[in-house]
A and B are shown apart, each in its own frame.
Chain A
Amino acid sequence: MSESMRNFLIFLLILAVVIGGGVLLNSLFSVPFFLGVTFVAFGLITLGGAVAVVTTRNLFRATIWLMVSLFGIAGLFVLLEAPFLAAVQVLVYIGAIAILFTFAVMLTRSLTQLKDRYNRPYATLAASVLLFAFLTWVIWQVWGNWTPSGDIMLATISDTTDLGVALVDKEGLVLPFELASLLLTAAMIGAIVIARDVDEDEKEKRG
């Protein structure tokens, strides 16, 4: 089978999964069809990207796949009517953090053909299954009583103004917000202290 033929078949398979998922969500939870299709598509992008991150042997490609996965999460935020979080997801994770990842990856040696195995597949598999089960249990405990309604979208659409007020309101999240900023400042000062060049004068003083 030629390469283009294989690619076309993979494309058809993905299309079938996306449309099938849309139909399934529509019939089981009466989710609107197009919404279901988009949800399945973004879910596939997120999960597929995540799987590719850990399976690819090329570090640069792994970071690109990580960005694809994060982009899928941004899409899911849009579906949940949280455009602010979606934009922040793209801006912070893809625009800043992942770019720094690629920078770091480019500075490491032998990034394309990793031959050595550093990971333990069975232990990792067991740990991730346990973690996933734990998370499912927690979510089930908190939101278990939720019954699927016709609308995935939230009834109360909160905009950026609400978010801004919540961050500075006394009854809102002002304490966690300030604590987080203090933590980040401490981390930044630490990074500067570590990365700072020791100048010649200081070296002489220390002897």
Chain B
Amino acid sequence: MDCVGLCAFVQSLGVADPAIARLIGLIIGGVLVSGVPLLTVIFLILVERKVAARIQDRIGPNRAGPFGLLQTVADLLKLLAKEDITPAAADRVLYNAAPLVSFASVVLIWAVIPFMYADVAPGAFMGVDLDIGVLYFVAVASLGTLAIMTAGWASNNKYALLGAFRVVALLVSYEIPLVFALLVPVMFAGSMSLVDITNAQSHMWFIFMAPVAALMFFISSQAETGRAPFDLIEAESELVAGFNIEYSGMKFGMFFAAEFLHVFTNAVLFAILYMGGFLGVLYQQLPILGFVWLGIKASIIYFISLWLRNTVPRLRIDQVMNFNWFFLVPVSIVNVLLTALILKLAQVAGLAPTVFAESSLLGMLPVTLMLLVKDVLMIIYVMTRVAQEGRSARQAEQRMETDLLASAAGD
């Protein structure tokens, strides 16, 4: 086992045994990687509340500390001090385990996120550069579904169980377009490692090469986090509070924090997969700038997500399912097939580089244009189809109404 990174740093502090140094390095790395999201979420909650307030023409939290900066800290203290209630009829072990699994499933994703450039082994500051980074993200995120399901069942409450049922329907079906959207950057980079995907975008961001895939990823990740317009997991007006109705105090706080963090994590993943992650001006000379670039890109996506959440109304469960199975899934499958075909044709014709990272801006232009034209044509075709179907549905409805009126007049 070679000793690099944190392990080498621990060794330089005077720990002689490489095995012990490695263990200490792993523990420090684990604390760091999970600490960053934990600290981030405290500010994210404030940002979300401020943005939501502005969109709804309110001021938002502004009493605790300057600009309400300490509001979340106050909320956190309140949640910690609250009575921790376990319902008498609940399944005690599973009831307590569910919030932990829910939060862990989000924090675990941060293990594979490259934060900034590094000139040693994996090429970036990160927890671990997995060969299967993208697959790891999908696998770990699927544990969140399990946590919500367990919470709903273990609470022994009808509303919670109904919320959990909706989760299975929603999250499991939106995983399909999500994975198909993830396939496109993986195909471009020829690797599932998030570092390789980042480096493959050094001359052209994938959002310009595959806007449709990026949009699919954005929509389905919005659904995966259970945010509006897909927030029927915890539809307040129908289910009281959904799966977390029986939870109080910090256990509720963990579900809450997991949801907020998941939204931001998806924004960070979007930034890495489609917007070049830490790439930007001077990211090699001044690695900390890479961290700033990643933060700015992720914040833009995060803001759009909040904007969407506070603008659109909730969909019904059948509308959500129809949208997924009759719109997202077919479009994303066709998108993957067409992208693969065009990419291969361009590579055979010598218009596209085989390794994107070693190309140049000029070398990337032809294939980018081809893919962009394909995406525009696809959008036009799909939108015309949707418009046609909408028109015929409206006409059928009108015809029915006139028929009804005629029969009523006949009497």
Residues of A within 8 A of B (CB): 32-34, 58, 60-61, 64, 67, 83-84, 87-88, 90-91, 94-96, 98-99, 102-103, 106, 159-160
Q: Which residues of B contact A67 (CB under 8 A)?
A: 146
Q: Which residues of B contact A96 (CB under 8 A)?
A: 142, 172
Q: Which residues of A contact B192 (CB under 8 A)?
A: 160
* Given A83-B130, A90-B143, A34 contacting B23 (CB threshold 8 A): yes
* Given A87-B132, A87-B135, A99 contacting B94 (CB threshold 8 A): no
Residue of A nearest to B144 (CB): A95
A83 and B132 contacting across the interface, CB-CB below 8 Å: yes
B74 beta carbon closer than 8 Å to chain A = no
Compute how far the CA of A87 lies from the CA of B143 in the bound complex, rounded to whole angstroms: 12
**Smallest distance from the beta carbon of B324 to chain A beta carbons, Å?**
16
Residue of B nearest to A91 (CB): B139
Q: Which residues of B contact A33 (CB under 8 A)?
A: 19
* Given A87-B136, A96-B172, A61 contacting B146 (CB threshold 8 A): no
What are 17 of the A-B contact pairs (CB < 8 Å)?
A34-B23, A60-B91, A60-B153, A61-B91, A83-B130, A84-B135, A87-B135, A90-B143, A95-B139, A95-B142, A95-B146, A99-B172, A102-B146, A102-B149, A106-B153, A160-B132, A160-B192
A99 and B149 contacting across the interface, CB-CB below 8 Å: yes
Q: Which residues of A contact B168 (CB under 8 A)?
A: 99, 102-103
Compute how far the CA of A165 lies from the CA of B139 in the bound complex, rounded to whole angstroms: 23
Chain B interface main SS type: helix
Compute how far the CA of A153 lies from the CA of B132 in the bound complex, rounded to whole angstroms: 18
B265 beta carbon closer than 8 Å to chain A = no
Q: Which residues of A contact B150 (CB under 8 A)?
A: 64
B138 and A91 contacting across the interface, CB-CB below 8 Å: yes
Q: Which residues of B contact A106 (CB under 8 A)?
A: 153, 161, 165
Residue of A nearest to B141 (CB): A95
A64 and B135 contacting across the interface, CB-CB below 8 Å: no
Residues of B within 8 A of A (CB): 19, 23, 91, 94, 130-132, 135-136, 138-140, 142-143, 145-146, 149-150, 153, 161, 165, 168, 172, 175, 192
Q: Which residues of B contact A84 (CB under 8 A)?
A: 131-132, 135
Q: Which residues of A contact B143 (CB under 8 A)?
A: 90, 94-95
B145 and A95 contacting across the interface, CB-CB below 8 Å: yes
Q: Which residues of B contact A60 (CB under 8 A)?
A: 91, 94, 153
B94 and A91 contacting across the interface, CB-CB below 8 Å: no
Compute how far the CA of A34 lies from the CA of B20 in the bound complex, rounded to whole angstroms: 10
A98 and B130 contacting across the interface, CB-CB below 8 Å: no
Compute how far the CA of A61 lies from the CA of B97 in the bound complex, rounded to whole angstroms: 12
B139 and A87 contacting across the interface, CB-CB below 8 Å: yes
Q: Which residues of B contact A90 (CB under 8 A)?
A: 139-140, 142-143
Compute how far the CA of A164 lies from the CA of B397 in the bound complex, rounded to whole angstroms: 51
Q: Which residues of B contact A98 (CB under 8 A)?
A: 146
Compute how far the CA of A88 lies from the CA of B153 in the bound complex, rounded to whole angstroms: 26
Q: Which of A61, A64, A96 has the most CB of B within 10 A?
A: A64
**Smallest distance from the beta carbon of B127 to chain A beta carbons, Å?**
14
Compute how far the CA of A88 lies from the CA of B168 in the bound complex, rounded to whole angstroms: 19
Compute how far the CA of A34 lies from the CA of B135 in the bound complex, rounded to whole angstroms: 27
**Smallest distance from the beta carbon of A36 to chain B beta carbons, Å?**
12
**Smallest distance from the beta carbon of B9 to chain A beta carbons, Å?**
19
Residue of A nearest to B150 (CB): A64
**Smallest distance from the beta carbon of B108 to chain A beta carbons, Å?**
10
Residue of B nearest to A95 (CB): B142
Q: Which residues of B contact A88 (CB under 8 A)?
A: 135, 139
Residue of B nearest to A60 (CB): B153
Q: Which residues of A contact B136 (CB under 8 A)?
A: 83, 87
Q: Which residues of B contact A83 (CB under 8 A)?
A: 130-132, 136
Compute how far the CA of A78 lies from the CA of B19 in the bound complex, rounded to whole angstroms: 19
Q: Which residues of A contact B153 (CB under 8 A)?
A: 60, 102, 106
Q: Which residues of B contact A87 (CB under 8 A)?
A: 132, 135-136, 138-139
Residue of B nearest to A111 (CB): B153
Q: Which residues of B contact A99 (CB under 8 A)?
A: 142, 145-146, 149, 168, 172
Compute how far the CA of A64 lies from the CA of B91 in the bound complex, rounded to whole angstroms: 12
Compute how far the CA of A96 lies from the CA of B141 in the bound complex, rounded to whole angstroms: 12
Compute how far the CA of A61 lies from the CA of B335 in the bound complex, rounded to whole angstroms: 40
Compute how far the CA of A102 lies from the CA of B175 in the bound complex, rounded to whole angstroms: 18
Known: A61-B91, A83-B136. 11 other contacts (CB 8 A): A58-B91, A60-B91, A60-B153, A87-B132, A91-B142, A95-B146, A95-B175, A96-B142, A98-B146, A99-B149, A99-B168
Residue of B nearest to A98 (CB): B146
Compute how far the CA of A94 lies from the CA of B19 in the bound complex, rounded to whole angstroms: 32
Compute how far the CA of A83 lies from the CA of B131 in the bound complex, rounded to whole angstroms: 8
Q: Which residues of B contact A58 (CB under 8 A)?
A: 91
* Given A87-B135, A95-B143, A99-B146, A34 contacting B19 (CB threshold 8 A): yes
Compute how far the CA of A159 lies from the CA of B193 in the bound complex, rounded to whole angstroms: 11
Q: Which residues of A contact B139 (CB under 8 A)?
A: 87-88, 90-91, 94-95
Q: Which residues of A contact B165 (CB under 8 A)?
A: 103, 106
Q: Which residues of A contact B145 (CB under 8 A)?
A: 95, 99
